[in-house]
Amino acid sequence: MVLAFSGDEFLIGREARKALRAQGYYVTNTNILMEEITGSKVKDAIFQGNLFGGKAVYLDFDSGFVGQGDTKHRNEVMKVLQVVPDEALVVIVDSKATVGRKKAFSKLGNHKHLPTPRFDNLHRWVRNELLVNHVKFEPRVPIVLAELFEQDLGGILGEIEKILALDVYVTEELIYSITNQSSPQNTFELIEAIVRGETSRALMICEQLLLQGEEPARIFGVLNWQFEHVAKCVGLCGPGKEITPEVVSRELKIQIFAAKKALAIARRLNEDHLLLVLEVLLDGEIGIKSGRDARTYLGDLGIRMASIFTEV
């Protein structure tokens, strides 16, 4: 029997190990081939293992065939896999499998493709992992984990293991605490104050961020990130165009909640106001990088940007 997995490297590795365990196979009774795989090595592993105690065979195509010169060896292995006895188990991981190899794997036995979850799919994947592990959590926790670790699925599961050890109701702040990350929420509160045109609150948040030890460059990084997407949204929102968050998410390759936020801000700005916002950001960034007083420049930035939004 041949079981093959393609797609995300972390997911297929986990799924392959799960498949082996389900059949009663572990490191001690599995022939693992990961380097310089050849047809003869695979044939020996399958038939000798089957003869002397029923060992499974694990083939890592990613590390076993690393160059163009290995194409011949991979083709030899594919031929050997055509004659795998029914009583033998061969598990294959091939994250970069071509369409042709995927079809071949399906003909040889069972093939499963596991793509890397992205955007809303990543949020759903994290949420499902939390639920499977019986974790109780605030609604935003999956989004926060996805923001912090992006496509590092192993890192996300590592944090879930920490959560399981704590055995508590999981809040957004708890996630920032156990991951040793500063909560970006305050920086996004600064954006909210700016967009609402609240100059005094924007100034207060700027001062609080500095008192809490936030790096000025990091604050500017978040602001630039947000308004870079806003600028692109303004470009998408031409006359007579009906732009949805889904379109923004797809075009800018950002998560749907970020797309909704950027689009909501963009709809309030015309090109003239956007240019003023970007000019303020540029002035502030130059000031910070030139070594001038960060408190002064951040406070001035908050006031000037919020003032622009009082006019729109």
> Tens of pLDDT along 171-185?
988 888 787 665 554
The pLDDT score that the predictor gives to residue 37 is 95
The reply to whether 25 and 87 lie within a common domain is: yes
Q: What per-residue confidence (pLDDT) applies to 51?
A: 53
Residue 258, pLDDT score: 85
Of 50 and 149, the one with more pLDDT: 149
* Confidence at residue 218, expressed as pLDDT on a 0 to 100 scale: 82
- For residues 39 and 24, what is the distance between their CA atoms, to the nearest angstrom? 26
CA-to-CA distance for 210 and 216, rounded, in angstroms? 7
CATH number of the domain bearing residue 244:
1.20.272.10
- Same domain (yes/no): 35, 84: yes
Look at residue 249 and tell me whether its pLDDT is greater than 60.
yes
In this prediction, residue 87 carries a pLDDT of 87
pTM score, whole prediction: 0.60
Residues 6 and 85 in one domain: yes
Give the model confidence (pLDDT) of 10-21 as tens digits: 999 999 999 999
Is the pLDDT at 138 greater than 90, yes or no? yes
* pLDDT digits 0-9 by tens, 268-280: 888 889 999 998 8
Taking the CA atoms of 248, 253, 256 and 257 in sequence, report the sign of the dihedral they define: negative
Domain boundary residue among 178, 194, 225? Answer: 178
Give the CATH number for residue 159. Answer: 1.10.8
pLDDT recorded at residue 311: 81
Q: Does the structure show a pLDDT above 90 at 79? A: yes
Task: Clarify whether residues 249 and 154 are in a common domain.
Answer: no
Share of the chain above pLDDT 90, in %: 51
* Shared-domain flag, residues 157 and 79: no
Is pLDDT above 90 for 149? no
Which of 95, 114, 133 is the last residue before a domain boundary? 114
Angle between helices 294-310 and 216-236 (to 10 degrees): 30
Domain boundary among 114, 135, 150: 114
DSSP string of 260-285, one letter each residue: HHHHHHHTT--HHHHHHHHHHHHHHH
pLDDT at residue 105, as a whole number: 97
Q: What is the pLDDT of residue 83?
A: 93
**What's residue 151's pLDDT?**
87
The secondary element (H helix, E strand) that includes residue 103 is helix 99-108
Q: What is the mean pLDDT of the chain?
A: 88
Structural domain of 83: 2-114
Domain count across the chain: 3
d(CA 26, CA 120): 35
Q: pLDDT tens-digit profile of 278-309? A: 988 888 777 777 666 767 778 888 889 999 99
Average pLDDT of the residues in 191-208: 87
Give one word for 135, left, alpha or beta, with left for phi > 0 and alpha for psi -120 to 50.
beta
Same domain, 148 and 242: no
**Do the strands 90-93 and 56-60 form a parallel or antiparallel pair, or are they unpaired?**
parallel
**Whether residues 257 and 290 fall in one domain:** yes
Residue 267 confidence (pLDDT) above 70: yes
Cα–Cα separations (whole angstroms), residue 76 to 59, 70, 309: 13, 10, 66
